Amino acid sequence: MSQPHDAVEVITAKRDGHQLSDSQIDWVIDAYTRGDVAHEQMSALAMAILLNGMDRREIARWTAAMIASGERMDFSTLSRPTADKHSTGGVGDKITLPLAPLVAACGVAVPQLSGRGLGHTGGTLDKLESIPGWRATLSNREILDQLEELGAVICAAGDGLAPADKKLYALRDVTGTVEAIPLIASSIMSKKIAEGTGALVLDVKVGTGAFMKDLDRARELATTMVELGKDAGVRTVALLTDMSTPLGLTAGNAIEVAESVDVLAGGGPADVVELTLALAREMLAGAGVTDVDPADKLADGSAMDVWRRMVRAQDGDPDAPLPVAKESHVVTAPTSGTLTRLDAMAVGMAAWRLGAGRAKQGEAVQAGAGVVWHARPGDEVTAGQPLFTLLTDTPERFDRALASLEGGWEIGAAADFVATPLVHDRIS
């Protein structure tokens, strides 16, 4: 039987600025997943999409074809509504850890299928794997049972969800096409729609430490993803949140878990608490639950109860001591004044170089490695006080981490500090 299309025809159509037909999109995604379209051909098509874009119909069809390449999860049997959150990635972004049990404590099930870190942005699974015994891999049956019993699960996405995306994601990473908004949006949304959640809140990071440095580009990405969710029948809203300054006071794995537990205990850094509550309220609204204030569930300990049960359900020990790095190095303030700037990318690169992240897929990470900062922008500091503590098991990493931090922070006059809002915009 002759094929309805061929790869060169699809590539040249997009190269010349034409819209791809539904049939062309369905065919090329299916053929690439099966191995009938070569990597170099899909690379050429990805570059053509980067340069010439896609309209809303094309992106929606591309996303649907990626979903159709694998299985879809179904949470319709659960006794409570579902809502999920996706962050585009940042530095110190441990929000998923307190957020999932908090929303579950409010009566909404959270199927949080998460990933690992790459480069300067941390991965939720890497953080949780610093808890002794905790396992990331669950069967679909285990996911459903845990959602019904506890209301929250954070685990690795199975290979069956959008396998086309897995192939294409790896290809984009090595062909300079990561930045294509149609491909970013369809990558994120194909997995989230296939996951079967009823409501979705997108945390689109913008700033120096984010994938999107520019507010207009971040808004375009957020709008595209919200439209894809709407087209697929998933109630979707996006918050554009700041990532010029890292979140909280830690970037790493075990140290971010400890900070998340502080939040669940009713403490923690103000910005982490603020963003956790903002996203929780959006998730609850999307799921139709409007009579519960998540702040109450942080205060009364019920979110912490869900966290402890969730960790135990995945064979982790919530009472076990977290790993501690073997070596530390303290950076002190050279002068007194106000910390006017702390650059998220500088902190993220330092944490990565200390061993908290990986340079390529499959590399091991150090559970105890990372950066703790002892002041946030706007805080007064005095000469000689600790500004940063660098943590690693391999002290030869300190020099490169210190080089990453160089120029990434400033101490000046209080009048020089300009506060940035944590949430820039809301798109629904």
Question: Which residues participate in catalysis according to the annotation?
Answer: 86, 165, 172, 187, 191
- For 46, phi and psi rounded to 5 degrees? -60, -40
Asked whether the beta carbons of 193 and 179 are under 8 A apart, the reply is no
Asked whether the beta carbons of 223 and 187 are under 8 A apart, the reply is no
Distance CA 25, CA 54 (A): 11
For residue 427, which of 216, 115, 152, 245 has the smallest C-alpha distance? 216
Distance CA 107, CA 170 (A): 37
For residue 43, which of 253, 211, 183, 219 has the smallest C-alpha distance? 183
Q: Which residue has the tokens 């791809």?
A: 20
- Catalogue the E-assigned strands of 28-175: 83-87, 110-114, 152-156
- Dig out the tokens for 129 from the structure: 């794997």
For residue 194, which of 222, 169, 160, 147 has the smallest C-alpha distance? 160
What residues does 203 pair with on adjacent strands?
A: 87, 239
Amino acid letter for position 372: V
Amino acid letter for position 320: A
- Catalogue the E-assigned strands of 334-379: 337-342, 370-373
Strand order in the sheet with 327-332: 250-252, 370-373, 386-392, 327-332
DSSP 3-state of 60: helix
